[in-house]
Structure 1
Amino acid sequence: MAALWNLPTEIVIQMMKHSANLSCLWSLINVSSRFKLILMTHAWDIIENVITKTTPSCIRALMRIVIATRTSPDLFIGVSDVAAYLLKRKVITRDTDKVSDRLMLQNKSPQVLHDFVKLAHTIHGVAHACLDLYMERVLRAKPP
């Protein structure tokens, strides 16, 4: 831990940007209050980098909807609004480097992005727990 604490901020930012997924990023920012502060200072850039490098474009589009809904709860009235939003942005979700798509995270508060990483980590953990449970059931099942 002492070695991590002494790393220059620029190196910590690069470590965060190259996290294997949002769950790993969550673990890294919980190493120390300094790491959390670094995330809060560079949140949109770090999270955008991790999402772009580790997430398929269709999932990335859904993640952006979660962030948009978190900051503007009245943005979507129903599922049909979400579907229409996805259809309008179809071109953007195919191209991972569209500037307008990247700006969506840039204008969000660091706390919202921090909470988003926490949510992604929680969902990741729940998904693994479900997979483990069903794998165990399949392995215990007796053939007919």
Structure 2
Amino acid sequence: MTEQGGTCAIPGDHHDTAACEHISRMLARISDKWTLLVVRTLGNGPRRFNALRREVGEISQKMLASTLRDLEENGFVSRTVTPVTPPQVEYALTPLGKEFLCPVRGLAEWVVANAERIDAARASYAERRAGE
């Protein structure tokens, strides 16, 4: 068995390398900045592309389109096209995406609750580095 550098599906269970690899791939796909922000925004309800882009912030059109494709591919987001001229496209969280919203919100709440501690740790680190 190949060691995964401490990554395993169940703590203490180092036998399921395939599960570890799958977890690693999914975490890489879902834990980036834009994915989390898009999911959080869609948690407030369906959005059209430009409305989503305005609410998410400084995301480029290309990055938003790419993020939405990845989320759709992995089953977190649905894309609905209304056949009018010009076509209207709306994005919404699927049931899987709504489940994912729970840990996303939990992570956001944790960051807010610990922001001062994180800032203090960064300042302390910067001081130590400056003194080297």
Higher helix share goes to which structure?
A: 1
User: Bigger relative contact order, structure 1 or 2, given CA contacts below 8 A and separation 6+?
Assistant: 1
Counting strand residues as a fraction of each chain, which structure ranks higher?
Answer: 2
